[in-house]
Amino acid sequence: MRSFVKRIVTENLVSNYYTMKKYAPRAIVVPVVKADAYGHSTRLVVDALLSEGVDFFAVAFSCEALQLRKDYPQIRILMMGIPEKEDIRLLVQEKIDLAVSDWLTFKHIITVGKELKCYPRIHIKVDTGINRLGFRYDSCQQIVEFCQNISDVELVGIMSHFACSDEPSHPLNRVQIARFWKCIEIFKQAGISFMYQHICNSGGVLNFPEAHYSMVRIGICLYGYSPNINKAISQLKPVMEIEGKLSFVKSVKEGETVSYGATWRVPEDGYIAVIPIGYGDGYYRLLSNGHGKVIVNGKLYSISGRICMDQFMIFARDNIFSTGDRVQILGANGKHRVSANDIARVVGSIPYETLCQFLPRLPTVKA
């Protein structure tokens, strides 16, 4: 068995779920489990939250929705992305809630629903300013008119998505909230109301309580990170830990070099330890040569030399390493912590990406 694993601390996940519920006490909290639950394993995440009574989850793609349905026949699933035309029949059959962003998809869903003699569950998706998916906010009147003339679908939701909810002072937030409210009003005046009205992602939940409505869609906060890398939220606990064991230790002499390209020079006689994880596991090569830090036996070490596909090295002057010593790539020990934010800062990214980057070669286990 490989010593290195991604450990999913489901206890922290559940704690984060309740923390977010406290932020949005009147809304249904729908966990977003796209991209294999931001790299945390959809199965582990859904299992843990099901035990807490959560029964509504959101994903991006058809394949994610259908896989989730296969594994969990009983839950509610919202697919937020655009379905391929050939997938729509199966999605409707499998009772997936569909976010609808365009007329073609809308009409096709209605046709399929009639053929199957069932009522597809629709969430009207309105673009209020991100300019990504959704009907334009200023086309609401046409959607209302269309909706008034159909009877073969269940209009369960109206939704939108923030572009800058992690920056509460950005003026676009207010604009989006106002546009979304207006859309809901236009529907209301035509006698159409929705069970689920939702615009908030994690940032929206934290920063715009007035926009929670009846449902919120939470991703990053569930996994223990703030959507804003510079604004930590102390109650959230990271869910992903990556750890393993030192695989090899040897002595090195002053002036020798370590790893490919001979880019790191040994400063004095000492020891290197080999850590068996590399960019072939999704561990960024940009962390090479002191950019990345790891925790070994509770102490922080800089990476010496280049990260290889399967391994990299650290150095100590004293003979303190032993094969089998505990290494943490992501996690905490005593006063030291390496977080997805630390990695994100080095590589110029966001925790969303650093959590998603690890590859299936690195086994995932429940803590």
Ligand X SMILES: *Cc1c(COP(=O)(O)O)cnc(C)c1O
Q: How far is the CB of 16 from ligand X (least distance, A)?
A: 11
Q: Which is nearer to ligand X, 110 or 218 (CB)?
A: 218
Q: How far is the CB of 223 from ligand X (least distance, A)?
A: 8
d(C-alpha 4, C-alpha 27), whole Å: 39
d(C-alpha 227, C-alpha 237), whole Å: 13
Residue with the closest Cβ to ligand X? 219
H-type helices in the chain, by residue range? 10-23, 34-39, 42-50, 62-71, 88-93, 103-116, 140-148, 171-189, 202-207, 340-347, 351-356
Say whether 260 is catalytic. yes
Q: Which is nearer to ligand X, 20 or 274 (CB)?
A: 20
Out of 161, 179, 293, 306, the only residue in the binding site for ligand X (CB under 6 A) is 161
Distances (CA, A) of 17 to 10, 68, 205, 245, 330: 10, 20, 12, 31, 21
Q: Which is nearer to ligand X, 202 or 328 (CB)?
A: 202
Letter for the amino acid at 192?
Answer: I
Residue 7 is a binding residue for ligand X (CB under 6 A): no
Buried b (16+ CB within 10 A) or exposed e, 287-307: bbbebbbbbbeeebbebbbbb
Out of 83, 120, 224, 227, the only residue in the binding site for ligand X (CB under 6 A) is 227
Residue 217 is a binding residue for ligand X (CB under 6 A): yes
Catalytic residue among 6, 17, 34, 283: 34
- Binding segment for ligand X (CB under 6 A), chosen from 177-185, 199-207, 252-260, 317-325, is 199-207
Residue 224 is a binding residue for ligand X (CB under 6 A): no
Out of 13, 32, 274, 355, the only residue in the binding site for ligand X (CB under 6 A) is 32
Q: How far is the CB of 60 from ligand X (least distance, A)?
A: 6
Q: Which is nearer to ligand X, 220 or 229 (CB)?
A: 220
Q: Which is nearer to ligand X, 220 or 303 (CB)?
A: 220
Out of 65, 220, 236, 330, the only residue in the binding site for ligand X (CB under 6 A) is 220
Query: How many residues form the binding site for ligand X (CB under 6 A)?
Result: 12
Out of 79, 80, 88, 177, the only residue in the binding site for ligand X (CB under 6 A) is 80
Distances (CA, A) of 101 to 19, 79, 106, 250: 31, 12, 8, 59
Out of 219, 292, 305, 351, the only residue in the binding site for ligand X (CB under 6 A) is 219
Contact present, 311 and 274 (Cβ < 8 Å)? yes
Q: Which is nearer to ligand X, 15 or 247 (CB)?
A: 15
Distances (CA, A) of 227 to 6, 28, 59, 161: 22, 20, 18, 14
Q: What is the DSSP string of 245-277?
A: E--EEEEE-TT-EESGGG-EE--SSEEEEEE--
Residues known to be catalytic: 34, 260
- Residues found near ligand X in the complex (CB under 6 A): 32, 34, 80, 161, 201-203, 217-220, 227
